[in-house]
Amino acid sequence: MKKSVTIFWFRRDLRLQDNAALYHALRNHQSVLPIFIFDKNILNQLEDKADRRITFIHSALHDIQEQLVHMSSSLEVYYGFPIDIFQQLLKKYTVQAVYANHDYEPYAIQRDKIITTILQENSIPFHTYKDQVIFERKEIIKDDGNPYTIFTPYSKRWKQKLSTLYTQSYPTEKYSTQLYKQPAVNLPTLLDIGFQTSDTLFPSKNIQKNIIEKYSQQRDYPALEATSKLSVHVRFGTISIRQLVQQALQLNETFLNELIWRDFYQMILANFPQVGQGKAFKPAYDNIEWVNNKQHFEHWCNGQTGYPIVDAGMRSLNATGFMHNRVRMITASFLTKHLLIDWRWGEAYFATKLLDFDFAANNGGWQWAAGCGCDAAPYFRVFNPYEQTKKFDADFKYIKKLMKL
């Protein structure tokens, strides 16, 4: 006889604590089975078989498994196409319901529609919840009911609406006895899914209060250890955005604003779907005639432009998967405003390299740099690499360190 379970599907929320959909699944059902799918639709597009992000995810899954085993439960990890995996699960178990957290990216929306159809055909409800942002879609809107397109007024309304209702944690631990009980299931190795272990040292997910307290004064200086390095944890949900906002409210408003930018770009993606289809936020800017010199682009990718701050940033990206935010703006401006290369080329390159790659933030940042995004200052904003170096790396500490790579 098939066992009866309720499935909780991990996606970009790789933690047991303060997890919205997991909380609702545990609170409303018995025998909650946590699963994760290494999605072939995504993995098949990754050319680097030592992709740092896959190693990071794999490590996070082992952390979750260790916690689940202590609760006499287990994670089940699958490798394949989600449609096939869910058909396997429906044969293996009597599935009462499926729970997951919202994902706003174009592929994720398409994937979830397909899974919803399969589940509906079997009379199985699919419940999804907001988890990776504080405010989503049209929760923050202008007085006329339209979404904001400029960050500053959006952030003001965001802060006005914020209350403890939006930042309180989901106490999943209260309902941990509702987890499906079974012996530990072996997780597939990276080799099993066609990948190799990356030797990247991942940053800690511990919130360093001393860094956040000084964030306003020091964040623009790439040679300093002055940024939280939490972006990869926020991206894959190994830390709760609610926990992070609680800390930011106590420690530093500038840091809070960076978290609000995340919500802003997810909101833009949800309300202006053309940006998820390779188009400029401002349609007129799709008519730009770019130079698109392939040799210049290759030099930019390899950190060989001859502009030290640009090359240092690109070498950092290639070697570590990390690039300081100030340097991201400099390198993006250089590609689009100096080399006159289509921002989509840079967006795609960052997508293959960034450890914290997030579609909405990456797209929003590139359109901001190119001047075609949701911002009041378009084509005339240029980051002069020499002036930026004078301001933020005057003694060349960052440049000297990275140019050795």
CATH of the domain at 242: 1.25.40.80
Q: 267 and 139 in one domain?
A: yes
Q: What is the pLDDT of residue 404?
A: 79
Contact in structure between 97 and 125 (CB atoms under 8 Å): yes
Domain membership flag for residue 262: yes
Q: Provide the number of structural domains found in the chain.
A: 3
Which residue in 28, 271, 318, 325 is the catalytic one? 325
Let me know if 368 is a catalytic residue. Answer: no
Which residue in 261, 300, 345, 368 is the catalytic one? 261
CATH of the domain at 62: 3.40.50.620
Task: Check residue 284 and give left, alpha or beta (phi > 0: left; psi -120 to 50: alpha).
Answer: alpha
Q: 287 and 396 in one domain?
A: yes
Q: What is the pLDDT of residue 300?
A: 98
Q: 366 and 320 in one domain?
A: yes
Domain membership flag for residue 197: no
Q: 236 and 123 in one domain?
A: no
Which residue in 9, 300, 366, 368 is the catalytic one? 366
Q: What is the pLDDT of residue 319?
A: 96
For residue 355, give its domain range: 273-405
Q: 226 and 117 in one domain?
A: no
Q: What is the pLDDT of residue 213?
A: 95
Domain membership flag for residue 196: no
Which residue in 252, 258, 300, 345 is the catalytic one? 258
Q: 296 and 213 in one domain?
A: no
The CA distance from 130 to 267, in Å, is 12
Let me know if 293 is a catalytic residue. Answer: no
Instruction: Please identify, among 131, 160, 181, the residue that sits at the C-terminal boundary of a domain.
Output: 131
Contact in structure between 70 and 374 (CB atoms under 8 Å): no
Does the pLDDT at position 378 exceed 70?
A: no
State what percent of residues in the chain have pLDDT above 70. Answer: 99
The CA distance from 272 to 154, in Å, is 15
Let me know if 290 is a catalytic residue. Answer: yes
The four Cα atoms 304, 308, 313, 315 give a dihedral, to 10 degrees, of 40
Q: 295 and 250 in one domain?
A: no
Q: What is the pLDDT of residue 188?
A: 98
Which residue in 343, 347, 362, 368 is the catalytic one? 343
Both tokens assigned to 334: 């250089």
Q: 119 and 210 in one domain?
A: no
Let me know if 258 is a catalytic residue. Answer: yes
How confident is the model over 25-81, as pLDDT tens digits? Answer: 999 999 999 999 999 999 999 999 999 999 999 999 999 999 999 999 999 999 999
Q: What is the pLDDT of residue 381?
A: 87
Q: Is 220 helix (H, G, I), strand (E, B) or coil?
A: coil
Domain membership flag for residue 182: no
The CA distance from 171 to 27, in Å, is 10
Let me know if 300 is a catalytic residue. Answer: no
How confident is the model over 150-181, as pLDDT tens digits? Answer: 999 999 999 999 999 999 999 999 999 999 99
Average pLDDT, the chain: 96
Instruction: Please identify, among 271, 292, 319, the residue that sits at the C-terminal boundary of a domain.
Output: 271
Does the pLDDT at position 376 exceed 70?
A: no
Q: Which residue has the tokens 């993995």?
A: 43
CATH of the domain at 291: 1.10.579.10
